[in-house]
Structure 1
Amino acid sequence: MAVNLGRHAGMVAAIGLVFTIALGFGITKLEFATGQDSYLNKNDVVYKDNIAYQELFGGQAMLSVISMDNGAKIDSIFTKEGIATMEAVAQDLRDSGQVLGVISPVTALDFSASLVTSPDGNPFNAVAAKALLNAQKVAEASGDTVSAQARTADLAITTQRLLAVPADQQTLENPEWVKFLLYDNAGEVRLALRPFFPDDTHAQMITRLPGNGSIEAEGAASETIVETTKALKFPDAQVTTTGAPVLLKGINDYLKGGMLGLGAIAVAVMMVILLLFFNVRWRLLPLLVVLIGVIWAFGLAGYLGVPLTLVTIAGLPVMLGIGIDYAIQMHSRIEEEVIIGRSPHPIQSAARGLGPALLVVTFDAVFAFLAIQISKVPMIREFGWLLIVGIIAICISSIVNPLAALGIREYKSPTKGRDFSEGKLGRLVVKMGSLPATAALWLAVAAVIVFVVGSVLEPQLKLETDPINWVNQDSQVIKDLRNIESEIGGSSELGVFVQSTDAASLYSDSSVAFVDTFTREQMAKYSKELLVGSSIVATVSDLTDIPGAKHISPAAADVQQAWDLAPKDIQLSTASPNGENFNIAFLTRPTSLEGQAVVVDGIRQTEAPTGIKVTPSGLAVVGVGLLQNLEANLVQLTWLAVGLVFLFLWVRLRSLVRAVLSMVPVLIASGVATIAIYLLGIELSPMTAVGGPLVVATCTEFTSLILLRYIEERQRGLEPREAIDITAGRTGRAFIVSAMTAIAGVGVIAFSSLPLLANFGLFVALKIAIALIAALTILPPLIVWADKRGWVSKGMLDRPEAPFIEVPDHRADVLS
């Protein structure tokens, strides 16, 4: 193959161009997968429940928080102009077709008015009055005279305040009516209105997005909402609009653009490295070769239906970093055969010597990436498939393209130069591996200790589980979220899906009492995580909460009537029309996913009455599910990658010792990096879940090449120490340059403005750097020590060499 590629380079180039264009077309078929099925498995109960929940009650919420300044109270926004503004904005959002519903402060007070008034004008026929009278009756029946008296007194004051506003003046343009609706008899914002008016200086417009939307759809909707709500302007007030959809859109947009941006930076850094350190003719050829391989990789991914996700987008700089080593090694080996080996058939010699080794290291990487398939996170598994497809494509490109390009070059213009094994890089690598063989046992013991300590510490490493900290802290969305959190105490929500399991309506006294009790228990139990609980049951329940009176759950009939009177936007987010499903929405305080997991798990353990199912739902649960799936087998991913590669090498190299030697630097790197990260107290990004297999693939690529080249030198009759020195000297330049480009390819991610990526890049680059240093310093003395006992080259020294294919001369007898 090497001969034909070189002799027919023009034809190879033409075919390669057509092939690249054909595969490149597959890039147009790539799709971004940003739905819930990127984070949760479709067969997970959590996924199924969340799909059903969002189908009924919609997706995420966008908050527009109105904050009063200069001592103004929130009721001051209810002027003719203010009301018109809020209603116009809400209607524009509904008309956009991108939202499920909008609950504005006007909507909230209209609902409150419908609960305290009745069509016949008798205030005691209103839902609120009937709920209060029912609670009073229950208190009297139970002998709780204190509560009964408190309720009687409060109802009297409420009735007096209500009747003080004539019926024809009960409009939101009347400040007195607004104050009656908004404030209780103690002058505080009514409990039932706290989800919309957290206190007397804040109000919220809650815009609910359609359920089960992709990040793109929700991101587009969030842009519309942010733009539309800019019209919310009131005297002495500031308005901030944001929410989780804006946060996720920012991450998604950055990763889409960031893939090309980081890839371009990686290419630029690699170009500088090649120009400065890779002293060969056509020194940028490896970069061209790997770029062609990347086009093949992403094209194949498009044809095979491998989607791009939040994780797979990091694949470009990773593949550039790992894949360029193949091209560098082949390029360097061809020039080595010409300059140092003086081979009459340099292309054939390079192909025979390095080709099988490149196939071995490619399978090393494939098996390492196969380990990623045990991940419980779909987008992590997709990343694994992308890397497998990519590394195979890059390997083929790194064999075919250099052989063709350099074959015709050497045929027409043979390379001339001095022995580069005596150069600085060659001497550096020889020196790095010059530890005496007697140190091997101590190095082996140290490696075991480091690996064991690292393995013990690894489960104690913490993941950064607050999504807000995944994003650039100087970005506008973070500033807005922090502002809302400081103003009203929270910006996210946790939904609870209450379902009837026997098709019976939940509008029964027992079911309503359970939902009411459950809501209050969660608020008390998780007061540090939950800020306020909202539901149709909670609305009526809070109306009956009177200072000095024991709480009594509302009657089911009152709750059902309240839902019937509610505006459509409130109905859509609180209960299904048939009454078989309720929604409880908890506004959460600033909490990490780890903290939210405690609440979610606690809710899951709730013992509901027969016929009722309680399920935590919404974005918070998706996030918690993602975190738990990531943590489920974080360590096992690395162990499995090590195990699969070790077994492959054992079989392929037909030697336990050779396989063990190849893995030693990997274990050292894993242990040292883990210890360093633990001591520095660095919290890891969730993306580091794929770091272990990446390090295994990269490091075993180097160790396998070193080991196989050493055996090749032994086959030439050299003694162990001389063979390892020749290996280091002749391949040193390629290994140093490859190491720098590999670290640069992954390490450039560390300079991302997105902490989610930056942490991942730093973690993986650190491990790769340690692994490569270990491969060049610790592996050589171990090989020499083991081979002096006949354990490394045994059975591989007496292999006959096949004759070269003779080809016609052209200027010099160098073609092959």
Structure 2
Amino acid sequence: MSLSLSNLFKKTGELTFSKRWFVFFGFLVLILVSMYGMNSIAMYSGMDTFIQKDSKMYQDLDLYTRSFSNESVVIMIEGADVKDPALLEASVRFSEMMVNVSGVSSVTSPAGIVESINERVTGRSEIPATAEEVDALIALAPGIFGSLIYDDTHSLILVTYGNLTETQKSDVLAASKEAVLFAGFPPGYNIIVTGQTALNEDMNIEMSSSMGILLLLAVVLMLVALVFVFKGVRWRLYPLAIVMMGIIFTFGFMGFAGINMTMVSIAAFPILIGLGIDYAIQFHNRIEEELRECTTRKEAVISTFKYMGPAVITALAVTCISFISLLTSSIPMIQDFGKLLIIGCVCCYAAALFFGVLSVYFLDKLSERLESKKQKTGKPYKVASFLLPEGYKKQQCVIDAKGNVAPAPGSVKQEDVPENFITSTLNKTVSFTLKHKKLIFTIAIITGILGVYADSTIPAETDYTKYIPQDMPALVDFNHMNTVMGGSDAINIMIVTEDIASPYVLKWMDEFGTYETQNQLYVLSADSLANVVKEYNGGTIPDTEEEIRAIYDQLPAGTMERYSRGNSMLLLNLNMGNAFSTLPMESVKSFVELIEEDISWHGLPPGTTATITGQSVPYTELLTSLLSGRVEQTVLGLLLVFFALLIIYRDFVKAFAPLITIALVIGWSGLIMYAFNIVYTPMTAVMGCMILGAGSEYSILLMERFYEEKGKGLIPIEAMRKTVKNTGIALVVSGITTTFGFLALTASAFGIISSFGLVTVINMLMTLLASFVIFPPLMLTFDNMKEKGLKGTLSEFKEHIEKMIYRNKKQSGATQ
């Protein structure tokens, strides 16, 4: 670390100590402010969490949604006879209640269409009294009912709405459920309120509940880890309180910045607990170490700032820089995930450095006062006892009248303290790796390359319904509706024309829909105004615009709204059942491209354009992000971290050594996912950046301490041994507690989070292992090359060449 940065932190420590009460209470005030900001956080699960709003696919879908009021609450009716007049009367009552609800644009139901046809035939807008009369009216225009009545026992009512906010959509959903209760549907019928709106509503509730459970579980696991691993220091559970302060700050910032909570962002907080505990433990461990060495409290605080501040902020910078690559993702919720991780890491670092170090200072001062009260009256000095790891003796320091501190008579010196189990194991591990470094390097590189290959064969999952809890009631209802109705997947083609009554346009739509149905395996049917007009005109499309407009005047308003907008836009739906749910997204993408080719081949009428869209089409863009975007993010993260370390250290070795260790772990991650049959999702796609951000800290902190010890005059190998002894236990503790934080993710009901948690836990353990198995021999090898220097290497090479030339000349002369 550069001298200037150390001096900067030293001055920061001096200023913090001089203003300690102001800083201490300032952080307490920030907690209150952050808790106020938390109230503004909203759960969100819309399409724009997956697809960027400025992408063409999203804008096409948005235009389609706004034009045709595609979003709707679906009322699914199951019973003995869905054409029963009493049931249709109840549907009319339901519709009358819902059309008056704010935001509802229309209510489409079989009952409403029956009333409309009856008015055209008899002049009375009412439901006939008998089932025979109802059947007769339906027989006049069966195509109109095709998407609403699936069979005698199943039908749908669609409550459509325009461009509403999430709160307004929730209000429409609540009103729909209430209207179902008051409409008086006959007994024996099962009325299910479902659809995308209901699914999103339940998903938001589940996300809120899941986040609370994950946070609680992460805290419990952290407590367990700290109790059993972080031994030998006082107040060993206190780092968890510090990191929770950082989490509160993050929540507050999130609220003030208007960052929504998504199914991915809820995973950020257990991760932040795992990452933040690192910072808290490192600062806590270092100030305790300084206090044990009999420095004054002021010196302990300043020394902690001076030595640990730059080291940890370097690790923080690397972590944040690696997360910056997440901001380049084309998946909005991954961008928000990256923002939260960066903000959270900074908040946790600030809480650990300032509030955490000062807290230990105040606690130590309080403990001394409590200890001094126990001393006998007249004793010439006060004693401050510092609890050391198991098997250690207490070290006591004498504080004289002038404030000087020194070991008390008979106390054990710090360097004479015996090793504990963890440090002993780490030292043995390092000794083994240094002895067999060539073999270890070979195995690491080969497995890393195999991991990269395995990674290229892992598929991606883009069906977002697979990401959420499969037993969620709204999802069960949604899947049940799709099963009964044969699926609702569709490709929607928006056709912009000069006149929606043009016979040429309608005939093109009819011919194209027929062609796709007959020639494309997954297209089950096609519906548009062309089908409706044909039904009203005896099976053919009229040849004149006047005849077509006369038919339009007879159609129910709801039918015109479903298939047209104004006088310039028509809609052609290619119904595909549940094809999108069963096909891999690669096939869906290829299918969409095939439809585009067919449109081009058929040749649109002059002045007409066609745009392919639909709820599933934008997810083909998500597929690209998962398969290629993740590789770009990881490579970008590696480059950003390398150049950042190069700028910080101005040393190629210091920039390159930590990166190699992490790059190997990223390669191994592919083997893990392949072995556990885990597919790529928006969460697992960021695994490379997560390993880089969360794991690089260990190598950097080891490297920082190595050069600190080496700077004290130790030879490299002894400097590394002392580094492992002094820093190893803190890294193991922070690594295990971080892993425990990630372990909470595996308990999530969201499959997208639990699979990510499993891979992350294994990767973090491998990162910790690599830090003590790969990094020490790698660091010593690079350091030896650096010490040897380029000049020395060139000199040896020059000497070697000169000897070869001399031998050649000598041999040549002997031959002559």
* TM-score between the two structures when normalised by the length of structure 2: 0.82
CA-CA distance at 1:89 after TM superposition? 1.1
Q: Secondary structure at the match of 2:666?
A: helix
Give the gaps of 5 or more residues in structure 2.
1-11, 369-383, 393-417, 792-816
How many residue pairs get aligned? The number is: 726
Q: Which amino acid aligns with 1:46?
A: M
Quote the Cα distance in structure 2 between the aligned partners of 1:108 and 1:540: 15
CA-CA distance at 1:399 after TM superposition? 1.0
CA-CA distance at 1:552 after TM superposition? 7.2
Partner of 2:203: 251
CA-CA distance at 1:790 after TM superposition? 4.2
Q: Is 2:386 the partner of 1:393? A: no
Q: Which amino acid aligns with 1:288?
A: A
Q: Secondary structure at the match of 2:461?
A: coil
Q: Is 2:761 the partner of 1:750? A: no
Q: How does 1:353-752 map to 2 (within 5 A)?
A: 353-411=307-365, 413=368, 414-418=384-388, 422-500=419-497, 504-528=498-522, 530-541=523-534, 557=546, 559-582=548-571, 584=573, 586=575, 588-589=577-578, 591-592=580-581, 594=585, 596-605=588-597, 606-607=599-600, 608-752=604-748
Conserved 8 A contact 2:493-2:611: yes
Out of 284, 290, 307, which is 2:237 matched to? 284
Q: Secondary structure at the match of 2:149?
A: coil
Conserved 8 A contact 2:71-2:160: yes
| Cα deviation digits, residues 597-650 of structure 1 (max 9, x gap) | 444444444323332222233433344444444445121111111111112112
Quote the Cα distance in structure 1 between the aligned partners of 2:588 and 2:93: 36
Conserved 8 A contact 1:662-1:700: yes
Q: Secondary structure at the match of 1:538?
A: helix
Partner of 2:9: none
Q: Is 2:156 the partner of 1:204? A: yes
Residues 354-363 or 744-753, more deviating: 744-753
Partner of 1:52: 63
Partner of 1:175: 131
Q: 1:193 to 1:26 in 2, by over 3 A?
A: closer
Partner of 1:222: 173
Out of 731, 752, 759, which is 1:763 matched to? 759
Quote the Cα distance in structure 2 between the aligned partners of 1:65 and 1:22: 46
Q: 1:361 to 1:415 in 2, by over 3 A?
A: farther
Residues 11-20 or 771-780, more deviating: 11-20
Q: Which amino acid aligns with 1:239?
A: I
Residues 466-475 or 618-627, more deviating: 618-627
Partner of 1:82: 87
CA-CA distance at 1:295 after TM superposition? 2.4
Q: Secondary structure at the match of 1:591?
A: helix
Conserved 8 A contact 1:61-1:244: yes
Q: Which amino acid aligns with 1:224?
A: A
Residues 242-251 or 358-367, more deviating: 242-251
CA-CA distance at 1:738 after TM superposition? 0.9
Q: Is 2:225 the partner of 1:273? A: yes
Q: How does 1:98-247 map to 2 (within 5 A)?
A: 98-111=103-116, 117=121, 172-183=128-139, 190-210=142-162, 212-230=163-181, 231=183, 233-234=185-186, 237-247=189-199
Q: Which amino acid aligns with 1:243?
A: G
Conserved 8 A contact 1:505-1:578: yes
Quote the Cα distance in structure 1 between the aligned partners of 2:125 and 2:14: 97
Quote the Cα distance in structure 1 between the aligned partners of 2:579 and 2:506: 29
Quote the Cα distance in structure 1 between the aligned partners of 2:114 and 2:788: 82
Quote the Cα distance in structure 2 between the aligned partners of 1:232 and 1:268: 49
Partner of 1:801: none
Q: Secondary structure at the match of 1:62?
A: strand
Conserved 8 A contact 2:72-2:196: yes
Q: Which amino acid aligns with 2:580?
A: T
Quote the Cα distance in structure 2 between the aligned partners of 1:270 and 1:179: 66
| Cα deviation digits, residues 407-432 of structure 1 (max 9, x gap) | 23344524523467722222233334
| Cα deviation digits, residues 746-767 of structure 1 (max 9, x gap) | 2312211121222222233332
Give the gaps of 5 or more residues in structure 1.
120-167, 796-816
CA-CA distance at 1:357 after TM superposition? 0.3
Residues 633-642 or 712-721, more deviating: 712-721
Q: Is 2:28 the partner of 1:17? A: yes
Out of 226, 230, 246, which is 1:293 matched to? 246
Q: 1:228 to 1:415 in 2, by over 3 A?
A: farther
| Cα deviation digits, residues 758-812 of structure 1 (max 9, x gap) | 22222333322222221122212222333344459999xxxxxxxxxxxxxxxxx
Quote the Cα distance in structure 2 between the aligned partners of 1:599 and 1:52: 22
Out of 766, 769, 775, which is 2:771 matched to? 775
Quote the Cα distance in structure 2 between the aligned partners of 1:169 and 1:654: 83
Quote the Cα distance in structure 2 between the aligned partners of 1:663 and 1:217: 49
| Cα deviation digits, residues 97-126 of structure 1 (max 9, x gap) | 2422211111233455578x498xxxxxxx
Q: Which amino acid aligns with 1:286?
A: P
Conserved 8 A contact 1:451-1:672: yes
Residues 625-634 or 31-40, more deviating: 31-40
| Cα deviation digits, residues 347-400 of structure 1 (max 9, x gap) | 333322211101101110121011112111233223222222222222122111
Q: Is 2:319 the partner of 1:325? A: no
Conserved 8 A contact 2:490-2:573: no
Residues 721-730 or 577-586, more deviating: 577-586
| Cα deviation digits, residues 686-705 of structure 1 (max 9, x gap) | 22233321221111111111
| Cα deviation digits, residues 43-80 of structure 1 (max 9, x gap) | 32223323322222113233323334xxx4543x2x2x
Q: Secondary structure at the match of 2:492?
A: strand
* TM-score between the two structures when normalised by the length of structure 1: 0.82
Q: Which amino acid aligns with 2:66?
A: E
Q: Secondary structure at the match of 1:66?
A: strand
Q: 1:536 to 1:672 in 2, by over 3 A?
A: same
Conserved 8 A contact 1:192-1:540: no
CA-CA distance at 1:542 after TM superposition? 5.5
Computed over aligned residues only, the root mean square deviation of the Cα atoms, in angstroms, reads 3.2
Residues 469-478 or 428-437, more deviating: 428-437
Q: Which amino acid aligns with 1:395?
A: Y
Q: Secondary structure at the match of 1:203?
A: strand
Residues 264-273 or 35-44, more deviating: 35-44
Q: 1:269 to 1:728 in 2, by over 3 A?
A: same
Quote the Cα distance in structure 2 between the aligned partners of 1:793 and 1:694: 35
Q: Secondary structure at the match of 2:211?
A: helix
